[in-house]
Amino acid sequence: MKNTATTYGGVAKGFHWLLFLMLTFSIVAGNIMASMPKGAEKLQAAGMHKSFGAVLLMMILLRLVWRLINETPRLPDETTAGEAFIAKAMHWGLYALMFAQPLSGIMMSQAAAFPVSFFGFFDFPVFLGKDPELAKTFLSIHGTVWILLVISVIGHAGAAMHHHFIKKDNVLKQMTTGA
């Protein structure tokens, strides 16, 4: 279940692939929701999107904690210092973007004076008062972050494919079948 020096464990793999699916669904659903006409259906969709975003935020936090308390598999021996730096920067950049997306959505909603509920069970604490200009700023951030997140995920997947098909090392296998 835990990571080793040569591969990611079942928990890390589960977080990785579950978050990929959840983020993909959330981005697609958010774009569909944004194109909906104003009305009760859009408000209901927005409420679900926010609740789902809150679940994502919790999952990302749990994934980060798991990463911090587990060892990270070694990079292949032939990895250059520059490649190692880029790999580390890409992973931490993905974490930053994954946190920024739901947080910017929460701040956008709060600045627009809309509560952020967790599937109707409870509302999240309000950190911002109504501020339409700030809401617009967070809307812009939320929109920009999802684009950067998609680009980063494509780059991340491209790097994994490069390792698998060009370098022919075990980097991709560490997150799939094992090394």
Q: Which residues have CB under 8 Å from 33's CB, separation 6+?
A: 42, 45, 46, 49
Q: Give the per-residue SS3 of the chain.
A: CCCCCCCCCHHHHHHHHHHHHHHHHHHHHHHHHHCCCCCHHHHHHHHHHHHHHHHHHHHHHHHHHHHHHCCCCCCCCCCCHHHHHHHHHHHHHHHHHHHHHHHHHHHHHHHCCCCCECCCCCECCCCCCCCHHHHHHHHHHHHHHHHHHHHHHHHHHHHHHHHHHHHCCCHHHHCCCCC
Average pLDDT over residues 7-24: 96
d(CA 98, CA 86): 18
Q: Which pLDDT does position 14 carry in this prediction?
A: 96
Cβ atoms of 86 and 80 within 8 Å: the answer is no
Q: Is the pLDDT of residue 179 over 70?
A: no
Q: Which pLDDT does position 5 carry in this prediction?
A: 93
Q: Is the pLDDT of residue 42 over 90?
A: yes
Residue 178 confidence class, pLDDT cut points 50, 70, 90: confident
Domains of the chain: 10-174 (1.20.950.20)
- Share of residues in the chain with pLDDT > 90 (%): 98
